[in-house]
Structure 1
């Protein structure tokens, strides 16, 4: 099995290519056999995406002094993403976040998943959607609204999940400096949980510029879902008032994190209950040194706020070394372990029904 996996990776590495500047509809048969890097450009705003894991590799923006910078962490090559374990920029699925004890019961049948986080399943298992080759359906590199649409067919029984699922994600740039990420998934044949998430590591000062403890964050969330020692929700939804989780008014990340460290918690890694419904504001992040700001809108019930607590000496783009608190993640999502928590919003998609998840990032400098 290990030899077969090594051979597959080797073949993918040989077939990798850079597909910069291409446009129009890609040939699906060819794309299934190749892994590429695709660029979208809109004036002084650009991104790169690879169809390995539908991964966002870079987001290039000006700062207030007119200097360009990449505001997400990651690697220089697709090969490094293939071997990486940090989920940099990946499209997470079939079910993002944690499922307790790697199992759930649906319509009277118990499904056993692949445990990859102690006894739990994290981010879809050992081979989640961020570790597969997606098909490039369409790529328009420039113009008024450049975009790329990627497709993946998840088969019945993949990592233990029931039913076939057809998944699409579109990355699109628009004015003035807006990045949209639109996800959808259609269940085929069987009911199944679906909870997709985008796992970019943001540092508005630029990747490798240091920690994000000085970045100012506002979260439009008055409640969060407390967790146990293995980061599985207890089932409660608690008020953030009077806790280190309260970012209802803008505050530097470092101004609150001490309250966690004093409890033996090494940083933020928690799901917030986003106020309101539909496409609505989720978070605002500002970096004083660069003058960059990012506003996030989304339509999901929750958002995982993570301060890259697990990074330690990770070598990234240009040989930069990423450390603790070197970025922050804002992963809009359904609630963790929702499939085992009837009190949480359901993430079950019935046959023929479509799961949808929209995110909008608005940048300024």
Structure 2
């Protein structure tokens, strides 16, 4: 099934403290992406299964009100720094900074009021012969959540005739600051026709993962994936070894992506629907998280409860707690530099 044409539709989604929120639906190829300017949030990605049936393959809600209630970062842009910073502290250029603590004892995904809770400004849509795109901009003041520097951020979502969703990130600052931006979508390639993703087959371009301590933050050590539950160098069902991860209740680990530049990160296949997702990025890491703490209390836009292990997030990112580990890839943006990153989600379908 193809959408009629490359196009962008805009609809009013509600108000937040007097600010209007709009939902934009980008259509191209065999897919449609819906994204709103609150949190620059992906609310739906509709792609066909092997029989041509369209379903949204990401977790989300059908109303703005549900996004204003507590939820596990569904589809949002997180930042300034994705993942955790230990004790919310880091030292930069000889000065110690204390960030907000919102995941005790740590700082998580930008803090209490991160980028996921901002009403972003939408630029005019961009429509080409084989793609369409929408850009969102926002800013973060010096001292916000404890971070140094006035930061300006621009995120571009693009959908192509090749059934790709491409996310480009750009930022500049007037003081040195840590930065790691990612989108926190959760994928269930069955379109939530099956409530869990343990039969999904995952492969990751990774031979190492970053070790965690008892506070769920990086120790600084890289651990070989071989002979552990983290080994996805060859495709493996998510349910095969997940019961080994007792303390985390499932996968919640940062993988070191092999190679440099824009390259393959992971591939996810759902044998039930035939849908396949390929992820490419220029980021050094990817957090693999299997919705271990979902408890069926949230009802998604698909009309079903979101259960434990109901979806998987593949968060391309800098390494967790990178500002506190000199052996990790640099995650500091300085004045005069431009933060630029790109992640692409490519969708296709396998025959029976």
Name the TM tier (shorter chain).
over 0.9
The residue number in structure 1 matching 2:255 is: 272
Of 32, 45, 50, the match for 1:46: 32
The question of whether the paired residues in 1 share the 8 Å contact of 2:287 and 2:313 is answered with yes
The residue number in structure 2 matching 1:347 is: 331
Q: Which has the higher helix share?
A: 1
Q: CA deviation at 1:284?
A: 0.3
The alignment partner of 1:21 has SS state of strand
The alignment partner of 2:283 has SS state of coil
CA distances 1:92-147 after superposition (whole Å, capped 9, x unpaired): 10001000011111111111111000111000001110111100012246852111
> How far, CA to CA, are the matches of 2:344 and 2:140 in structure 1?
25
The question of whether the paired residues in 2 share the 8 Å contact of 1:52 and 1:82 is answered with no
**Is structure 2 residue 164 aligned with structure 1 residue 178?**
yes
The question of whether the paired residues in 1 share the 8 Å contact of 2:10 and 2:23 is answered with no
Of 185, 204, 216, the match for 2:189: 204
Q: CA deviation at 1:44?
A: 3.0
C-alpha RMSD of the superposition: 1.5
The residue number in structure 2 matching 1:292 is: 275
**Is structure 2 residue 90 aligned with structure 1 residue 104?**
yes
Of 207, 214, 217, the match for 1:222: 207
Q: CA deviation at 1:346?
A: 1.3
Q: CA deviation at 1:79?
A: 2.0
> How far, CA to CA, are the matches of 1:321 and 1:143 in structure 2?
39
The residue number in structure 2 matching 1:302 is: 285
The alignment partner of 1:186 has SS state of strand
> How far, CA to CA, are the matches of 1:301 and 1:80 in structure 2?
33
The question of whether the paired residues in 2 share the 8 Å contact of 1:139 and 1:148 is answered with yes
> How far, CA to CA, are the matches of 2:24 and 2:164 in structure 1?
18
Larger mean CA deviation between 352-361 and 32-41 belongs to 32-41
CA distances 1:18-62 after superposition (whole Å, capped 9, x unpaired): xx7259xxxxxxxx9321111101143101100000000100000
Q: CA deviation at 1:318?
A: 4.5
Stretches of structure 2 lacking an aligned partner (at least 5 in a row): 1-7, 12-17
The residue number in structure 1 matching 2:145 is: 159
The question of whether the paired residues in 2 share the 8 Å contact of 1:39 and 1:141 is answered with no
The residue number in structure 2 matching 1:13 is: none
CA distances 1:228-277 after superposition (whole Å, capped 9, x unpaired): 1221011101110100000000000001212223xx43100000000000
**Is structure 2 residue 237 aligned with structure 1 residue 242?**
no
The question of whether the paired residues in 2 share the 8 Å contact of 1:138 and 1:150 is answered with no
- Alignment TM-score, normalising by the size of structure 2: 0.92
The question of whether the paired residues in 1 share the 8 Å contact of 2:210 and 2:255 is answered with yes
The alignment partner of 1:138 has SS state of coil
Q: Which has the higher strand share?
A: 2
CA distances 1:146-198 after superposition (whole Å, capped 9, x unpaired): 1110001111111110001110111101122111011111112x100011011
> How far, CA to CA, are the matches of 1:208 and 1:75 in structure 2?
16
Structure 2 CA distance for partners of 1:235 and 1:247, relative to 1, 3 Å: same
**Segments of 4+ in structure 1 off by > 6 A?**
none
The question of whether the paired residues in 1 share the 8 Å contact of 2:105 and 2:215 is answered with no
Of 14, 18, 21, the match for 2:9: 21
The question of whether the paired residues in 2 share the 8 Å contact of 1:22 and 1:141 is answered with no
- Alignment TM-score, normalising by the size of structure 1: 0.89
The alignment of Structure 1 onto Structure 2 pairs a total of residues equal to 335
**Is structure 2 residue 98 aligned with structure 1 residue 115?**
no
Stretches of structure 1 lacking an aligned partner (at least 5 in a row): 1-19, 24-31
The question of whether the paired residues in 2 share the 8 Å contact of 1:21 and 1:141 is answered with no
Q: CA deviation at 1:319?
A: 3.4
